[in-house]
Each structure stands twice: as C-alpha cells, then as structure tokens.
Chains A and B, each alone.
Chain A
Amino acid sequence: MGPFVAAAVVAGAFLGHAGAIPPSLTRSLDTVTTLLLGVLLFFVGVQVGGNRQAWQVVQRFGVRVLLLPLAVAAGSLAGAVAAGALLRMPLTDAGAVGAGFGWYSFSAVLLSRLHSPQLGALAFLANVLRELLAMAVTPYVARYIGRIAAVAPGGATTMDVTLPIVAKAAGEDAAVLAFLSGAVLSLLVPLLVPLFVL
C-alpha cells in the first residue's frame, strides 16, 4: 500500500512537471481532482456505512473519542514548534504553519492575510507536503505503530483527501475515527492559526 501511494503521487508529479499534460487539461485538474475525490469518498462511504461493526469504536470510546483530534492537534503543534527551533525561525510562525494540520488552501490564505504573503506561502507548501507525506506514511503507521495511530498523520485531511487511505490501510473502524478527527481538526484550524500570529 505504501509504495503504491508514493509511486502514484511521484509519477503524477513527474508527468506534471515534465509538461506531459497539456495546459488546457492542467487548468481543469482542480475539477478533476474534486470529482475523483467525490467518487472515491462515495465508495468508501458505502463500505464504511455497510460495516456496522465499524461504528462500535465510537460507542466504545464515547466522548473520549475527542481526545484523538486533540492529541493530533497538540502533537502537530509541538512537532511544528520543535521544527521551528531547529530551523531557527520564530516559534510562533512555525506553530501557525503547523496549525494548518494539512489544510493548505485555507491556512495559506489565513496567514497571508493575518501575517505576510511569505508565511502564507510557507503554510501552503508545508501543509501540501504534510498531506503528501501523510498519504505515503499512513500505511506504514497503520502497520507498524497501530491502526488507530494511522488517523494522526493526515491531520485535518483525514476528513476527505486522506480518508480513503486510512480506510484501506487501517480498516473501516479507523476510517470512522479518521472522519471525526479530521472534522474536529478542520474546525480548529481557523481558531488556532490566528492564535499564533495575532
């Protein structure tokens, strides 16, 4: 699963960079991605919905299920701040970028407006890379660290873009947790990002 994901993304990036895709098509890639993602999430939805057992995790954890996104948030922020220290950049800037949790479009716009276009650009790239790295890493986390831990790498994107990968690599019960976690983290992004830079 892991090599499959990485290979597909790298092959796509290579094709795109080499100009193998005509510009007319490049412009519509956004729409194509959204459509494909919609179709994919529908299939995953049918699978998860049809698996009654998958929903028992929520019953088992109860309200404590919220600890999962909170842990992802805390861990992401701690990691981003540690990276900032290593890079000798302002820790609040690093924290603000990390608080995007992979939601690059939104965090980039937020930080361009609240801080500077430079930090917005960094938020864009760092969160794009988080999404890509998460796709490549999630299958390995599921296999070697734990199925539920596979919810973590994708951050806010486990609600949509990386949800199919969690479902495939970690199972349908993990997908239920991933969706909930991603939704909570998406709500936290507009609250936490400004906290670091205002």
Chain B
Amino acid sequence: MWIIVVPFLAGLLIGWRSTAIARLDRFLDPLILVSLFLLLLVMGARLGSDPRVTAQLQEMGVQAVTIAAFAIAGSVLAVRLVLRGWLGG
C-alpha cells in the first residue's frame, strides 16, 4: 500500500521542480487516460478471475454491497456537512 505512493511522490517532486515537464501537461492527459483504462480493465479481470471473489459474492454479496454503498453514502454526506459547517463552502 505505502510503497505505491513512491512513484506519486516522485512525480510530484519532478512536476514541482521542472516547469519544462509541467508544460508537457497536455501530453499527460491522454497518457493518464490510457493507463487508467488499462488499470481498471486489469483490476476488473483480477477480481473476475478470482474464484474466491465469485464464491463470496454469492454467499455474502448482499451484505457486502449494502455495507459498501452505505459507507460511501455516509462519507459523502458527512463531508458535505463538514464543508458547509466548518470549511465555509
């Protein structure tokens, strides 16, 4: 988990230091979109091909989806409240 942050921090540093590279911004967009698409595809494939995941989905899929969806909804709601209340919009 934490190791994956290293390339991000390296990118931050390079982008911050070098305005020349930052000017490549519009080339970054398509690169990001393509690698994002590939990543999502591979992540989907990893889950789809994992027999554990498909077995568990049948067994406790409803519970898992409900908890996940409610946790997401709750977190969005809470952030909205905090933004209105303390962070001023």
A interface vs B, CB < 8 Å? 4-5, 8-19, 21, 26, 29-30, 32-34, 36-51, 61, 64, 67-68, 70-80, 82-84, 86-87, 89, 94, 97-98, 101, 103, 105-106, 121-122, 124-130, 132-135, 137, 141, 145-146, 148-149, 151-153, 155, 159-161, 163-165, 167-168, 179, 183, 186
Contacts and interface: CB of A to CB of B under 8 A. Distances in A.
A195 B69 CA distance: 22
B69 to A, nearest CB: 6
A71 B11 contact: no
Contact of A98 (B21, B57, B67): B67
B33 to A, nearest CB: 8
Contact of A163 (B8, B13, B14): B8
A105 B63 contact: no
A15 B31 CA distance: 23
B66 to A, nearest CB: 5
Contact of A42 (B8, B64, B73, B75): B8
Contacts, number: 287
A179 B68 contact: no
Interface string B31-53: 11101111111111111111001
B7 A79 contact: no
Interface string B49-77: 11001101100111111111111111111
B53 A125 contact: yes
Contacts of A103: 1
B65 A129 contact: yes
A130 B57 contact: no
A9 B44 contact: yes
Given A41-B11, A71-B82, A16 B44 contact: yes
Which among A42, A179, A186 has the greatest number of chain B C-beta atoms within 10 A? A42
Given A152-B78, A164-B36, A48 B12 contact: yes
A100 B8 CA distance: 23
A103 B2 CA distance: 12
Nearest to A67: B82
A169 B3 CA distance: 24
Which among A45, A97, A121 has the greatest number of chain B C-beta atoms within 10 A? A45
A49 B22 contact: yes
Contacts of B13: 45, 49
Contacts of B61: 125
B77 to A, nearest CB: 6
Contact of B32 (A84, A155, A164): A164
Given A36-B38, A49-B13, A50-B22, A125 B49 contact: no
Nearest to B35: A40
